[in-house]
Structure 1
């Protein structure tokens, strides 16, 4: 066997943009098409906005303008503007940026100097313009390559920076910006930066009361057990209430303006200090789960030079606040102990409502404990022979693994459909949970039913969400049912289950409907899968004169060889979203209340359009 020469020629050094384009996941997490809030196109937008936010925090510019039309994104701030001699370097040279000088950016969001470089490298076109002291400078790039480095010109424009980019479709396939996700991101920015105005496509976002506004905007006031407790310190802000109807705990956590969706050291410390303070205030050793049951709360802290556990900064790893401040744990604990304790002493009515809620939770937990034990014993036996879950290797909690955000659980009906998905799935990131038939209608039932109903109990166990959403095993939960009336009904019953017992799964953007093709149109050279009548007509036109047309009646009819196309990189998912105008109670009674058969039929037929209220 010939020996391969190993010389200097074999050693290759990638330049900055090649590395980003070859390994985009290292810089922006997963790619996606925009159907999920953590898809890459939103991270690109976020990286650009983070720079504008840092300017606002430094006292420069109170307005950020964002325009998204089709695939083009424009972000304009009125900050100090990038120093004109450094415009090209800041967006195209690694380890170049103002944030390495920590005097200027003590608690900034984007700390690694990669942000706009990643946006530049992953965009088909990228333009940066800076205005300072009556002069402007622009540079234009394509796929990270400098195409036009314009000369400095005189201008009467207001100072600031404008970035215009179009994400590269060869990396982000069939992508689409969904305004619901963009708006949620922008709302978080204004909650954390009172006094900032963000103008998105003509709509203005502003917040006067920070995290208090966040809770009030995300909850129905009638569902609040008591008015929001709002506490502020130098580097910390907290808002707390309890829900009257929701079972589980709900947390919104932020570090330096970054939404840490996977929590971290600050959230762990906060949950712990909340329990300790409440126990000390009432002088009772209440169970932690009873104190936190139904809590809806938000925490934001500012840390010097934070360490995150991933490039997309969704989980804080730092244990220190920085400077001469104590550890994150001590700082949060001291703050909650002092301020929450003071609040409860001064507001006996709130303290009394909170105590009643804890006692109710304790009573319910004790009533459930027997059923829970039975269910767990049953589940243990069932798990030995449990054919329902075919698991994958990488889960959401594996933050050290690169593809953890791709972890997906498909919920399917019937053996044939789950068989096709199981055979064609990616065993690393895609798991399958198979339903026996139609799930139980859980509308109006108590949590007891989740343990008594074997299917729901096994589904809850598969997702690992019994205690809290923190241990959720899959980032994407995908309902994969046939597109007929029966499939729609199963879809509706599953959504009811999640709305009733785990609404935060929907609020946090984890629940989806799998779109599957209705038709296959092919000739000897090409096959096109069509998801609508319009797509079918276009395909027939393209493949004429006489293509073969097949209509798929159900998922079970699609062979594993074909199914791989619909759950691979071209997967089409419709996110299930909550309508802001409607409380969960109203929505459940609308969909699952005592309706006439005609109305039920209408709801089932219009389910996707109505519940998602997503696209149009």
Structure 2
């Protein structure tokens, strides 16, 4: 009997050497994060655009060019950018967009506070594009290079009347991104982000102008609008810009940036910003307020410039530089103490909010104790939680991809529990419809057992610094009851934990509504259009309509929460609109809501 060959046999034949182009195309996630299909603001097609625009921003930061023109054709998926900076040195145009470890960002004097991926970004864009054209204009001369799927096809140069700068045109590769749609709403929000962080820069997106005169102050004013309890407290110097204001809402909300890069997971600069606010308030008041009392209801933004930033991932979601902490803390504390002394009316309103927070916290202390005692009596663990092994706050690679599905009941959970990845996928089944959280106080969470346990499962009682799951996914049925439960959960998070949403952790799971199959092939369809296409493709087919997640067998369900899982990130375009939306959809105005449904019913 012949010996079986070990399937995992490891010898010289298994060793491969990939050139940089092959490596980027084979492992694009290492360079741009997720691929996606354009339905999420962090999908790869938007990262490609971001990397090109970041290079334009770098020119503005170094005081070269105050205008960037961006044109996007959503039909054919083509992106076009033009800056008016110095232009890439003509002799290095090809190398700068195609050769790894080649660029102008390794020398600090040339790009002191770089935004992009330090000379890697444009190479990744080129490698992942169906076509990529770059033109550099410098002092009456130009150089052009044209690539297809990362391979140089042609070069051209000569005289020009164009102003200095760089022009890039590309379209994402259909081999890498086989099916994508461009959502201009995501791109418009990013353009506003660039404008707020770069006072005086004009960005033109398909003719629409994005411009900010007052930087982060404009951003905060626009986001919270009539929600602010006092005028925005704002400061800017050469290395740091920050602002904040209290609102009537619960929790804390921060937007933090390093060299123009949004760090949605915060880092040392955001922690220092929070600490500086606490120390400044206590120094002014001559008291020792608790941090949660000072910061509850706070909406703030901070942007720092760091010469050699250290990020915890290639996509720069969290700053790791420890040396920035003391400088940020001291600057925030010193400015805030001085500001409050000079602006007594604002200081009085701020302390009034802090004192109210302190009173509310003390009022719910007994409720917290009762809830915790009840949890101990019920179980050492949170009832019904089917946990995973790795969590976000464990700082492991699998933990960074951890997720929890909030399901509608035991029937849906039954299918998911058999096919989930126990290393990174947790389940939390609801017992029914949760109560409406709208217009309730914080005590509501502690009096409602199920919502209390949900808060504890996520570990977000005080803030989201120790959130246990990277993604919180609402997995309800696509029927009327399921949609109502989804709205109730959205209301719960937006009322008490809105920073979970603003930091991009809340998602909605999409599952198929129809199954179309014949004896040879099975297709799953998420809407009527996909169903019609499947019916046209498969002869002698049969159609099944799934009424709920519990009807989908574990064998089928596995693919819907696997690598090809469809999830929609819950995004908030403007914080000040949230209370009005919740009032309308979850408030007591039944007549107005009914009329709206009747007017918009299809």
Normalising to structure 1: TM-score of the pair? 0.91
Match of 2:565 among 565, 571, 576: 571
Please say if residues 406 and 475 of structure 1, whose CA atoms lie closer than 8 Å, have aligned partners that are also in contact.
yes
455-464 vs 425-434, which deviates more? 425-434
Structure 1 partner of 2:44: 40
Please say if residues 265 and 503 of structure 2, whose CA atoms lie closer than 8 Å, have aligned partners that are also in contact.
no
Structure 2 partner of 1:273: 276
**1:470 partner SS:** coil
**2:145 partner SS:** strand
Structure 1 partner of 2:547: 553
Please say if residues 66 and 74 of structure 1, whose CA atoms lie closer than 8 Å, have aligned partners that are also in contact.
yes
Aligned runs of 1:16-95 on 2, under 5 Å? Answer: 16-70=20-74, 71-95=77-101
Flag the 1:287–1:603 CA change in 2: closer, same or farther, 3 A: farther
Structure 1, gaps ≥5 residues long: 321-327, 610-616
Flag the 1:283–1:68 CA change in 2: closer, same or farther, 3 A: same
Flag the 1:129–1:468 CA change in 2: closer, same or farther, 3 A: same
Match of 2:128 among 113, 122, 140: 122
Runs of 4+, deviation exceeding 4 Å: 1-7, 600-607
Deviation at 1:400, TM superposition (A): 5.2
Structure 2 partner of 1:379: 375
Deviation at 1:372, TM superposition (A): 0.9
Q: Distance in 2 between matches of 1:429 and 1:602?
A: 41
Please say if residues 390 and 396 of structure 2, whose CA atoms lie closer than 8 Å, have aligned partners that are also in contact.
no
Flag the 1:5–1:351 CA change in 2: closer, same or farther, 3 A: closer
Q: Does 1:588 align with 2:550?
A: no
Please say if residues 236 and 299 of structure 1, whose CA atoms lie closer than 8 Å, have aligned partners that are also in contact.
yes
Structure 1 partner of 2:181: 176
Q: Distance in 2 between matches of 1:390 and 1:603?
A: 38
Flag the 1:12–1:354 CA change in 2: closer, same or farther, 3 A: same
Deviation at 1:417, TM superposition (A): 0.8
Deviation at 1:457, TM superposition (A): 0.8
Structure 2 partner of 1:613: none
Please say if residues 482 and 555 of structure 1, whose CA atoms lie closer than 8 Å, have aligned partners that are also in contact.
yes
Deviation at 1:508, TM superposition (A): 3.2
Flag the 1:430–1:45 CA change in 2: closer, same or farther, 3 A: farther
Q: Distance in 1 between matches of 2:10 and 2:471?
A: 46
Deviation at 1:377, TM superposition (A): 2.6
* Aligned pairs, number: 595
Match of 2:488 among 488, 493, 510: 493
Match of 1:340 among 331, 336, 339: 336
Please say if residues 382 and 457 of structure 2, whose CA atoms lie closer than 8 Å, have aligned partners that are also in contact.
no
Deviation at 1:337, TM superposition (A): 2.7
Q: Does 1:151 align with 2:156?
A: yes
Flag the 1:472–1:577 CA change in 2: closer, same or farther, 3 A: same
Deviation at 1:353, TM superposition (A): 0.7
Please say if residues 223 and 575 of structure 2, whose CA atoms lie closer than 8 Å, have aligned partners that are also in contact.
no
Deviation at 1:284, TM superposition (A): 0.7
Please say if residues 251 and 497 of structure 2, whose CA atoms lie closer than 8 Å, have aligned partners that are also in contact.
yes
Q: Distance in 2 between matches of 1:491 and 1:5?
A: 49
Please say if residues 125 and 140 of structure 1, whose CA atoms lie closer than 8 Å, have aligned partners that are also in contact.
yes
**2:105 partner SS:** helix
**1:350 partner SS:** helix
Flag the 1:515–1:597 CA change in 2: closer, same or farther, 3 A: farther
Deviation at 1:233, TM superposition (A): 2.1
Q: Distance in 1 between matches of 2:145 and 2:311?
A: 32
Flag the 1:552–1:343 CA change in 2: closer, same or farther, 3 A: same
Aligned runs of 1:213-362 on 2, under 5 Å? Answer: 213-220=218-225, 222-243=226-247, 245-320=248-323, 328-362=324-358
Deviation at 1:602, TM superposition (A): 6.4
Flag the 1:404–1:600 CA change in 2: closer, same or farther, 3 A: farther
Deviation at 1:32, TM superposition (A): 2.7
360-369 vs 489-498, which deviates more? 489-498
Deviation at 1:415, TM superposition (A): 1.0
**1:389 partner SS:** coil
Structure 1 partner of 2:109: 103
Flag the 1:394–1:180 CA change in 2: closer, same or farther, 3 A: farther
Q: Distance in 2 between matches of 1:261 and 1:581?
A: 16
Match of 1:521 among 500, 516, 522: 516
Please say if residues 224 and 576 of structure 2, whose CA atoms lie closer than 8 Å, have aligned partners that are also in contact.
no
575-584 vs 82-91, which deviates more? 575-584
Aligned runs of 1:130-149 on 2, under 5 Å? Answer: 130-146=136-152, 148-149=153-154
Q: Distance in 1 between matches of 2:191 and 2:415?
A: 40
**2:130 partner SS:** strand
Normalising to structure 2: TM-score of the pair? 0.93
